[in-house]
Copies of this chain bind each other. A is one copy, B any other.
Amino acid sequence: MAKPDELFAEDQGVFMISVAARLAGMHPQTLRIYETKGLVSPKRTRGNTRLYSEADLERLRLIQRLTTELGLNLAGVEVVLRLEDELRRAHERLERLDRQRREEIQNVHKQYRRDLVLYQAPRPVPTRQH
């Protein structure tokens, strides 16, 4: 079966280069090249062995799609990764701004409703318990 250290590594959700390469469908040497170009940055053990996390693997699979399916070179991959990150953050900002918009409108409504009650019903205002 699999070797003890491989099993151990996979149990941790962390993979050494041979396993990561197999899971990403790549040559181990290719992964080393990607690291020198700054496309992935796996951790290292004390013995200097690369350890690929799940996030690293996800990134590898994305790169795999860009290079083999779409035919990008590494320079293109770098730019695309950056742009996709920007785009993701832009969408997050959209989400946040929309939520903020709704909340602010609600708050304005609440504020005025409180004021309206004061004018409409000039009886003793219920003070909050002290």
Contacts and interface: CB of A to CB of B under 8 A. Distances in A.
Interface stretch (A6-14, A49-57, A64-72): A64-72
Contact of A70 (B79, B87, B100, B101): B79
Copies, count: 2
A71 B119 CA distance: 69
Contacts of A116: 112, 115-116, 119
A73 B77 CA distance: 10
A75 interface: yes
Contacts of A76: 72-73, 75-77, 79-80
Nearest to A108: B108
Nearest to A71: B75
